[in-house]
Amino acid sequence: MCIQIPLLAPFGRLWLSMENAHSPNEVDIDMSDSRPPLPPFDEASARQKVLSAEAAWNTRDPERVALAYTEDSEWRNRGEFVRGRDEIVAFLTRKWERELDYVLRKDLWAFTGDRIAVRFQYEWHDASGAWFRSYGNELWEFAPTGHMRRREASINDVAIEESERRIFGPREAGDTGSPPLR
């Protein structure tokens, strides 16, 4: 299935094919590989996108997670820069080899058009058994297909005792609550 997307604003990089354009103001996009919900987002679709991302990351399956991103997706994660699905898979593989028993909660912070901002917390332990809670914020930008084309993450790690853990697995059905600040 193809849809026509009007080109109303300049884009930082060309990611739409102009081959099948009917006029200079529109292009055809193959939506057979779309990742709903699609932009532009409203509050309900932005929340759904956040919870879908959380569920995928909680699988700790790098190949599955990478499919939610454009082929040329660009990331900044802490001080590391990643580009494209192959680098995303490699990055996530390293991450989950180091961050054991990783479990994540994401919360919608803001949204507009094709962008979503989230805050998140995740807990994990290292190979020595030391536990951490990582706090962070992400800025997401999406292609019209619903794939994320840009992800910027700022993250801080706080050492915790195992007894201080509060995230013990994926969300229960119907749980849409926000993690506490501390």
Q: How far apart are CA 175 and CA 140, in angstroms?
A: 23
Structure tokens at 55: 């569920």
pLDDT tens per residue across span 81-94: 999 999 999 999 99
Looking at the domain 35-164, which fold is it?
Answer: Nuclear Transport Factor 2; Chain: A, (3.10.450)
Query: pTM value?
Result: 0.82
pLDDT tens per residue across span 37-68: 999 999 999 999 999 999 999 999 999 999 99
Amino acid, res. 96: W
β-strand 69-77 against 148-160: which pairing, if any? parallel
Give the residue among 176, 148, 117 at the shortest CA–CA distance from 38: 148
Residue at token pair 């997307």: 5
The H helix count followed by the E strand count for the chain is 3, 8
Do residues 119 and 139 lie in contact, with contact meaning Cβ atoms separated by under 8 Å? no
Dihedral of CA 11/15/21/27: which sign?
negative
Do residues 109 and 117 lie in contact, with contact meaning Cβ atoms separated by under 8 Å? yes
Domain residue extents for the chain: 1-32, 35-164
Q: Which residues of the chain have pLDDT under 50?
A: 1-27
Angle at 146 between CA 141 and CA 147, to 5 degrees: 70
